[in-house]
Amino acid sequence: MADQSLFNAARRWADVPKLDPETERAAAEATVAFLKAVEAEVTGHLGKVETEGKDADELHVVWDFEAFDPRHLDFLLATLGEGDVRIKLCDGEVKVADTGVPGLWRMQSGRDGQVNSFILARIPKAVRAVAAEGKDAVPAIVNGGANVFAAPAILNELQHTLEKTDLVTLTDTPAFMVELTHQPMSPGDMNALYSTLGRGPVEIELRGMAIGKVNLTGVRGIWHSQILNTLGKTLLDAYVVAGIPPEVPIPESEWVDCLSTCADLIAWVEHDLERGTLGGKPAQAKTVVA
C-alpha cells in the first residue's frame, strides 16, 4: 500500500505546474512539516486509545487551506495523492474526498469549492451530521398496487432492522443488507421502494476494481447501495441499514497505516531535497568550525 502511495504521488507530481527552485524547496519543506503534524496528531490519538480505551475521543483535526502558502498547495496536494472515496453533501454544496494518506480528507464547500480544508478523521463530522438528517422511520408505502409484490416485506424488514440498529457509533461490522439483485422484483416493486424511501442529501462513490455508489435515502440510516462494473453493468443492488456504511470511514486500526504512509512520503520528499531533485541544488551540509 505504501509503495502504491509513493508511485501515485510521483505520477501526480509530474503534472504539477513548474515551480522555481526556491518556491519548490519551500513547498517541499512545508509538505514535510504538514505530514509531521499529521503524524503527531495520530501518534497522540493512539496514545490516548492505549490508555483510555473506548473512552478516548475520536480523532478529528481540521487545517484550513488559508494556513498554507497558496504557492505550495499544488505540490502538497500532489504529494498527498487521491484516494477512492468521493462524497457529495446537499447536491454538491459540500464535497469530501479522501487523500492517499489514510484518514486524511479534503473538504470543499461552496458551489465553486472556494472554501477548502484538510480533515484528519475516520470520516469528517460534516458527513455524519448530514447523514443524520431525514425521516426517523419508513413511511407508508407509496405507489403500491397490483403489480407490487416484494416491496412491502422489504420495507417492513428495513424498518424492523432500523429500530434495533445503532446509527451513532462508527463500526467496522458489515451492515445489514437486503439484496435486490437476485430477487424476483417487478418494476412495480422497484418503483414502490424508490418512491417510498426517497433520496437523501448524501451521495458516496467508491472507486476501485468496480464502482460503488451508496446514496442515503430519505430515511435516516437506510442507504441504497449499488456496485457497477467498468461498463456500467449493475453487479449488486441493495438497501443497507447503518448510520454510515462501514466501507466509507477508515477503520480505527488503519491509523497505523496512516503513520506508515506519512513516514514513506516524508522520506521520499526529504531524500529528493537532499539530492537536489527537488528545489535545485542539494542542501549544503553546515560546516562546523573547531
What is the tens place of the pLDDT at every residue in 159-217?
999 999 999 999 999 999 999 988 889 999 999 999 999 999 999 999 988 999 999 99
pLDDT the model gives residue 2:
46
**Strands of the 222-228 sheet, one edge to the other:** 60-64, 115-121, 104-109, 94-98, 85-89, 202-207, 211-216, 222-228, 234-241, 176-179
Q: Is the dihedral of CA 138, 174, 172, 217 positive or negative?
A: negative
Dist. CA 143–CA 286, nearest whole Å = 78
Nearest 5 degrees, angle CA 43-CA 106-CA 134? 105
Q: Tell me which of 126-130, 190-194, 230-234, 245-249 is least confident.
A: 230-234
73: left (phi over 0), alpha (psi -120 to 50) or beta: alpha
Mean pLDDT of the chain, nearest integer? 91
More confident: 27 or 13: 27
Whether domain 131-241 has CATH 3.40.1190.20: the reply is no
Residue 263 scores a pLDDT above 80: yes
Residue 229 scores a pLDDT above 80: yes
Residue 1 scores a pLDDT above 50: no
Are 204 and 245 in contact by the 8 Å Cβ rule? The answer is yes
Dist. CA 202–CA 133, nearest whole Å = 10
Topology adopted by domain 2-122+250-275: Ribosomal Protein S8; Chain: A, domain 1 (3.30.1370)
- Closest listed residue to residue 228, CA positions, set 243, 208, 212: 212
Q: What band does 8 get if pLDDT is binned at 50, 70 and 90?
A: low
- Closest listed residue to residue 34, CA positions, set 208, 252, 269: 269
Max CA pair span of the chain? 96
Residue 6 scores a pLDDT above 60: no
Mean pLDDT, residues 140-161 taken together: 95
Residue 290 scores a pLDDT above 70: no
Q: What's the predicted TM-score (pTM) here?
A: 0.90
Residue ranges of the chain assigned to CATH 3.30.1370.140: 2-122+250-275, 131-241
